[in-house]
Amino acid sequence: MDGKKMFRKSDNVVTREIEGEVILMPLYSSSKDLNCLYTLNETAAYAWSLMDGKTALSDIKDRLMDRYEVNEAKLDKELGALIKDLRSIKAIS
The structural domain count of the chain equals 1
Q: Do 4 and 56 form a contact (C-beta atoms < 8 A)?
A: yes
**What range does the domain containing 80 cover?**
6-88
Q: Where are the beta strands (DSSP E) in 2-90?
A: 6-8, 13-18, 21-26, 38-40, 52-56
Structure confidence by residue, pLDDT tens digits, 26-79: 886 555 555 688 999 999 999 999 999 999 999 999 999 999 999 999 999 999
Domain-located, residue 25? yes
Domain-located, residue 18? yes
Domain-located, residue 93? no
pLDDT the model gives residue 2: 78
Domain-located, residue 73? yes
